[in-house]
Amino acid sequence: MGCLFALFAGLFPRLALFIIWILRPNLVDAAFDTWIWPFLGIIFFPFATLLYVILYTPGVGLSGWEWFWVAVAAVLDIENAAENDDLSGEPSPKVILVVLDGAGTQIGK
């Protein structure tokens, strides 16, 4: 069961954090003062938020290497979001700057 949960958490961090929040609300409540931060974490940084909740020690918080692992998870979340944006299949918008003189004639690009 533990290995299944670890595999599940690696593949589906949003769902894993949601399940932890439903089944063990004390873990999430200890790590965050309000519901808005874990909710935003599920949307924008699911893996980092999941690790923060799992590694958080009530009364102590995170220390040393625990912050390192949360930072690594945040980098993975950002990398995943950037990769998903690149794989959308749509061309990236290009910005072209055109400089016109007073008469409306193009003088630079």
pLDDT tier at 102, thresholds 50, 70, 90:
low
* 68-90 mean pLDDT: 77
pLDDT at 23 > cutoff 90: yes
> How is 32-80 classified by DSSP, letter by letter?
-SSSHHHHHHHHH-HHHHHHHHHH-BTTTB--THHHHHHHHHHHHHHHH
Please give the model's pTM, rounded to 2 decimal places. 0.68
